[in-house]
Chain A
Amino acid sequence: MLKLDDLSKHFDGVRAVDGLSLEVDQGEVFGLIGPNGSGKSTTVNLICGVLSATRGKVTFKGRDLHGLPPHRRLNAGISRTFQNIRLFGELTVWQNVWIARRDAPGREAGFIRNWFGSSARTREAIEETLVFADLAGRANDLAQNLAFGEQRRLELARAVAARPDLILLDEPAAGMNREEVEDLRQRILALKHDGITVLLVEHVMELVMGVTDRIAVLNFGKLIALGTPGEIQGNAAVREAYLGSPDSESA
């Protein structure tokens, strides 16, 4: 469903992503790992259109995404979370989720529609998403007043509210304790169960190994290994890449 073809992004001299080709299948949880600075976030940004590629292309459901801005890609079915939490802090939890809905007002699709209220169906869907992210009790709190873990869950809730076919999670477990990581694992599995394809960028190995179907390993922007969690754990090149990087076992 998602295909990267010789995808490259160079920042004057730095080859953040360098000739990356891979294919993510419909319905799988696909892990993307690699040492810090290996180009994982850049790959996510290229897929969701925040950055434009220096070379190569991204194909989603058979459609070349070249030139499509992020909100069009969102409408096409790609949503994401940010590695550095990015929320509307002075708006409520409910509003933060609501804006991600495709039928929200101000969106290009329905600019005038729904300016002064949301349909019962929309409200119901938002409630459901909040329950999924265990934030139902905090719907009317300002996003900036949430605890760190809750803010991460709100990021996830917002990404889910957009009803994506593909969801990109950029280090969603960073800074979480064991219990929170386990909750997140359950949520990712629930997404998979709902037929959503997940691209998981993660440093926390116990999560990556426990939830993904396949894993791609990046080093210096290049794909160095691709396989099932078991295959990746035994891969010599992967061990070497990680040993070369001091913060690799940050789990």
Chain B
Amino acid sequence: MSEYAISIASNMGMIAFVALSAYVVLVVGEISFGQQAYFGIGAYVSGMATAMWGWPFGFALVLGSCVAAIAAFAVGALTLRLRGLYFAIATLCFAEMIRLGLNSIHVQVEIDGEPVGPDGAEGFGDIRWMFEHDVTTLEYMFIIYALLGAVLVVLLLVERSNLGAVIRMIGQDPLLARSQGIDVGTCKLLVIVFSGMIAGLGGCLYAHFATYIEPNVFNVMLGVHALAYGLIGGLGTALGPIIGVVLDIGFLEGVRAIQGYRMIAFGGLVAILLIIMPRGILDEVRIHHIKRWLRRQ
């Protein structure tokens, strides 16, 4: 694989984590414009863990995703009573708060005579775990995809389970779900925490791939893209957002001919799809038909 192909593939893999995290929130019936914040939290926390405190990579991943999950728990608990537009705006505000917060934190330690750590708007460089451990970009790509695969397996299993059905019920009609005795609040909170954890894990991977991160990477455009991937690929299965990512990054960015027009092509694609397939390519109804067809085979 060429370095270019590896970098495109790695990017797809890492962005897929944010896309999946936005997707699970969409499935439970809410639109979050703030998933990029968990990605950012994961990136910063795990980067600090390896670069500043010398933690092993694996522990840094766990720490980064857990801190992101805790942040998601806090946001989820505070916004539990909000619905629709209010939930969307609250998540956006929270994410912007995090981004602005990152702009003003300066926590650095001296390593080999060099200051290492988040330096406000100047960003946070020298997250050199990959170099220090002679991990090639190809190997790192496999790490990304192994973890993405694991997350996908978990999501697909949950989707097949009773819990998955309950989550979809909440997404479709929370009041009816409530009247059937479903604990809507707890289920929603659970989904939001899990969404934070997935995005956080993606962020951890991103920090160590990029080696340099800055607050502006985690701006609202990342969150909007994450939402768009689910809406393109479909909300009927966790594979939907993956399709969205592949279409956007793999296809539009990968094909160099349309490079300069990528955002135009992407915007057009989203607009057209939302009109003809409001819940994406693989929506609930199509997934139902596919499952049925598979069962017959």
Contacts and interface: CB of A to CB of B under 8 A. Distances in A.
A137 to B, nearest CB: 14
Interface stretch (B131-139, B161-169, B193-201): B161-169
B259 interface: no
A237 to B, nearest CB: 35
Contact of B284 (A69, A90, A105, A109): A90
B263 interface: no
A48 B181 CA distance: 12
Contact of A99 (B165, B186, B284, B285): B165
Is chain A's interface secondary structure helix, strand, loop, or mixed overall? Answer: loop
A71 B178 contact: yes
Contacts of B166: 99, 104-106
Contacts of B168: 88, 90-91
B292 interface: yes
A158 B181 CA distance: 13
Contact of A106 (B173, B176, B187, B288): B187
Interface in A82-107: 86, 88-92, 95, 98-100, 102, 104-107
B176 A90 contact: no
Contacts of B173: 86, 88
A111 B292 contact: no
B183 interface: yes
A73 to B, nearest CB: 9
Interface string B24-36: 0000000000000
B182 interface: yes
B180 interface: yes
A118 B163 CA distance: 11
Nearest to B173: A88
B183 A99 contact: no
Contacts of A114: 162
A117 B183 contact: no
Interface in A137-162: 140, 142, 158
Nearest to A142: B288
B108 interface: no
A11 to B, nearest CB: 18
Contacts of B165: 91, 95, 98-99
A108 B181 contact: yes
Nearest to B287: A90
A99 B169 contact: yes
Contacts of B178: 69-71
A116 B162 contact: yes
Nearest to A115: B163
A48 B178 CA distance: 13
Given A88-B173, A90-B285, A106-B187, A116 B180 contact: no
Given A106-B187, A115-B163, A99 B182 contact: yes
B229 to A, nearest CB: 20
B2 interface: no
A189 B187 CA distance: 38
A83 to B, nearest CB: 14
B162 A115 contact: yes
A74 B284 contact: no
A75 B179 CA distance: 10
A50 interface: yes
Nearest to B171: A90
Contacts of B284: 90, 142
Given A50-B179, A71-B178, A108-B181, 5 more contacts: A71-B179, A88-B176, A107-B183, A115-B161, A116-B163
Which 9 pairs show the lowest CB-CB distances between chains A and B? A106-B166, A71-B181, A90-B284, A70-B179, A107-B181, A105-B162, A116-B161, A115-B163, A106-B182
